[in-house]
Copies of this chain bind each other. A is one copy, B any other.
Amino acid sequence: MHRTPKRYTISPLGVVHSRLRSRSAAPRQGYKGAPSAWVEVFPRAAPAMKGISVGHEIILITWLHKADRKTLLVHPHGNEEVPLTGVFSTRSPDRPNPFGLHRVSVLELKGSRIKVKPLEAIDGTPVVDIKSTLRLSDDR
């Protein structure tokens, strides 16, 4: 048996500023008409932005702070005619560790702010990591 610690602590490294103000206003995925948004990177993490340029694609990992962490089963797409499915085989925001994954393009850089598109995360969503994409065939 492996022993893993029971918990880890993460601190937000940034925050989303968006015109999307509520989950009900947000599209289910970025590609479904999500707007551009600004990611404010906090000062302590700002050096880690070095190398991000306009035109790059990056992956944001967010913490979906409005999620219900007790949800294990959902009706996909909110359609109650679809049988209940485990959240691990969906992109439901409701899940035990509610991470959001967002592949976005960098539109603009201003100090420690990054304008990206498309982003379905709502205003105030914490950003917990940013990664480069890999070559296209291996993006994850």
Is A107 located at the chain interface by the 8 A CB criterion? no
Asked if residues B8 and A139 are in contact (CB atoms below 8 Å), the reply is no
Is A86 located at the chain interface by the 8 A CB criterion? yes
CB distance from A139 to the nearest CB of B (A): 6
CB distance from A92 to the nearest CB of B (A): 9
Asked if residues B97 and A132 are in contact (CB atoms below 8 Å), the reply is no
Asked if residues B90 and A30 are in contact (CB atoms below 8 Å), the reply is no
Is A111 located at the chain interface by the 8 A CB criterion? no
A129 cross-chain contacts in B, Cβ below 8 A:
88, 95-97, 99
- Give a binary string over A1-32; 1 marks a CB under 8 Å from any B CB, 0 the rest: 01011111111110101000000000001110
Give the number of chain A interface residues (Cβ < 8 Å): 61
Task: Name the interface residues of A39-83: CB closer than 8 Å to any CB of B.
Answer: 41, 44-45, 47-52, 56, 58-59, 61, 63, 65, 72-73
Closest to A131 in B: B91
A29 cross-chain contacts in B, Cβ below 8 A:
134, 138
Closest to A51 in B: B89
Asked if residues A139 and B138 are in contact (CB atoms below 8 Å), the reply is no
The residue among A5, A90, A138, A140 with the most chain B CB atoms within 10 A of its own CB is A140
Is A35 located at the chain interface by the 8 A CB criterion? no
CB distance from A52 to the nearest CB of B (A): 5
